Chain A
């Protein structure tokens, strides 16, 4: 695959969250699978994900949140994308989205309602994420 044809994906850890390990593992797996990855790293404001996706014509944004404030940080994320002309971009959230005694089903529903296409339960493996992308990204 040439650089020009590679599909671009934006990754990062949202908000004031510094848990970078899982995000980095994910980024490396994506690159190995042939994606062009724009890795924004830890402590990334929501707007920076969107700006990066606009310039690079990314087809998916993978938002990590581990520290327990993911729901707060991700509010309005889809709206930001729509605002920037990215209404159809694929959005995933993952990491450690469950807070307190909430069930995963409840948490997942919250994120899907916010406009994410998928939410990953804690401990989701990178291979699973690659399978999802292969299924969800429209053929080039």
Chain B
């Protein structure tokens, strides 16, 4: 048997998936506590032991690949010039690289900004500003400011290429990687080179800085942050490979404990007749909603959706829903232990998906002119995408994941939102998207067939089947 081990050093658990590369199936799963802060080997050993128990012995692994969101994830600060332009392009690049964005700055950095950046303790700073041949004063001012500061983390420069040499000189004392401009010409987005540079710095420096390499005996490589692995998995499943059709344009939603992540793989071009406005968005796009988390940020989900609405959706009295909210907020590790708690979690997940997808998708707006109306579009039109995939613990544990995913869909009450209209609804029940995102770097075909074979089609799943899984 030819097998691969896929590892996720997560924030609370180290999760393992062992897969059979020839038969395209899962051999087993294992999990242990994440102990990156103390000794990463402890959690890794525990997870391997767990996997061994599930499989009855461990096969020899041809590949052992890892992703990590441990030790706070890949904390990044982005800096650009105009907030809506290069600063936004830099944010998109960092999010697409799987970072946890802890701060975004625009224009000239002030002393207060520098102090704030130092306090944020980023793992990497992404410095952009100016189109190629455009403004170089501000990005150089900011390079000089970073050079004078005490910040020790690596810096990725992805600004005006005319300023790159001067930036290199100014930042000679820092660990610096220079790459292509995130916005080489006005409103032209070019985030892939910056993503690749961030990933390279992650592999070369951050894995060591976070102590994950102390488990190096148990893996071949830590390839990327876990959110980037999910994004790579989504890209593979959407696009397919020569000879193997993918699912087409798609959206992935993950209502997690602290944030709700949404990924889309779709160009989202404007419908005929609509006039695009604002910065174009990347085809592979990730958004992270820091105020929508099933546990750490449950209170802000309820604040955004309204306690009454959450209670109604859960079939609870508002006072009871309030009490359950207090309970999960105080005990973020809590798993639902009663029908009431399950219903409350379901309502939280539904609200989180509804709001997070609304923010991810583009909108149309009708502008009335003297002759009549014109349609203006901002962001991506995801109304015609082919599939919506749910992933993450909250969805897998849900008694009715379909009811959660349906909240991503177009809603007559929001006529201006370009949400998916009639996609297939799928569930990543085995938590394989990240694993396939890792595996595709070495065995793309096996990764794709594994993913396609294990995404559960919720449209064809009967209640009885769901009961069996539960």
Which A residues lie at the B interface, using CB under 8 A? 3-4, 6, 8, 16-18, 36, 38, 42-43, 51-52, 54-58, 67-69
Can you report 8 A-B residue pairs in the complex whose CB atoms are below 8 A from each other?
A8-B134, A16-B374, A52-B187, A54-B85, A55-B131, A56-B133, A57-B130, A67-B369
A18 and B372 CA atoms in complex are apart in Å by 11
Number of A-B contacts (CB under 8 A): 64
- Residues of chain B within 8 A (CB-CB) of A43 are 275, 277, 367, 374, 376
Interface centre among A6, A18, A42 (most CB of B within 10 A): A18
Asked, given contacts A16-B367, A18-B369, A43-B367, whether A55 binds B136 with beta carbons under 8 Å apart, the answer is: no
- Chain B residues with Cβ below 8 Å from A52 are 85, 186-187
A51 and B84 form a contact (CB under 8 A): yes
* Cβ-defined contact, B370 with A56, below 8 A: no
> Shortest distance in angstroms between A102's beta carbon and chain B's nearest beta carbon?
18
Most B CB within 10 A of own CB, among A16, A36, A42: A16
B97 at the interface (CB under 8 A from A): no
Q: How far is the CA of A67 from the CA of B85 in the complex (A)?
A: 28
- In the complex, the answer to whether B367 meets A56 with C-beta atoms within 8 Å is no
Chain B: minimal CB distance from A23 (Å): 14
B131 surroundings in chain A (CB, below 8 A): 55-56
> By the criterion CB–CB under 8 Å, are B135 and A56 in contact?
yes
Cβ-defined contact, A57 with B136, below 8 A: yes
Beta-carbon contacts of B148-170 to A below 8 Å, as 1s and 0s? 00000000000000100000000
> Closest residue of chain A to B133, judged by CB?
A4
A3 touches B133 (CB 8 A): yes
Are B134 and A51 within 8 A (Cβ)? no
B18-58 vs A, CB cutoff 8 Å, 1 = contact: the mask equals 00000000000000000000000000000000000000000
Closest 7 CB pairs of A and B: A56-B134, A16-B369, A57-B135, A38-B186, A57-B134, A51-B82, A56-B131
Identity of the chain B residue whose Cβ is nearest the Cβ of A45 in the assembled complex? B277
Complex Cα gap A42–B183 (Å): 22
The listed residue (A8, A17, A51, A54) touching B133 by CB distance below 8 A is A8
Q: How far is the CB of B132 from chain A (nearest CB, A)?
A: 8
User: Smallest CB–CB gap between B152 and chain A, Å?
Assistant: 29
- Chain A residues whose CB sits within 8 angstroms of the CB of B133 once the complex forms: 3-4, 6, 8, 36, 56-57
Nearest-Cβ distance from residue A9 to partner chain B, whole angstroms: 11
Q: How distant is the Cα of A4 from the Cα of B164 in the complex, in angstroms?
A: 14
Cα distance A103–B376 when bound, in Å? 34
The answer to whether A55 and B369 touch across the interface, beta carbons within 8 angstroms, is: no
Give the chain A neighbours of B374 by CB distance below 8 A: 16, 18, 43
Answer whether residue B81 sits at the interface, using C-beta atoms and an 8 A cutoff: yes
Contact indicator B367/A55 (Cβ below 8 Å): no
Please, how many angstroms separate the alpha-carbon atoms of A51 and B129 in the complex?
12
Interface residue? B86 (CB, 8 A): yes
Known contacts A38-B185, A54-B82, A54-B85; can you find 19 more A-B pairs with CB under 8 A?
Answer: A4-B162, A8-B134, A16-B370, A18-B371, A18-B374, A38-B186, A43-B275, A43-B277, A43-B367, A51-B85, A54-B81, A55-B130, A55-B134, A55-B186, A56-B185, A56-B186, A57-B133, A67-B370, A69-B370
Contact with A along B169-184 (1 / 0, CB 8 A): 0000000000000010
Closest to A43 in B: B275
- Report A-chain residues with C-beta under 8 Å of the C-beta of B183: 55
On chain B, the residues within 8 Å of A4 by CB distance are: 132-133, 162
Quote the shortest CB–CB distance from B133 to chain A (angstroms).
5
Docked pose: A42 CA to B277 CA in angstroms: 10
Other-chain contact of B82, A6, A17, A55, A69 (Cβ < 8 Å) = A55
Distance in angstroms between the alpha carbons of A38 and B132 in the assembled complex: 12
In whole angstroms, what is the CA distance A56 to B277 when docked?
Answer: 18
Cβ of A55 and Cβ of B85 under 8 Å apart? yes
Cα A83 to Cα B371 with chains together (Å):
33
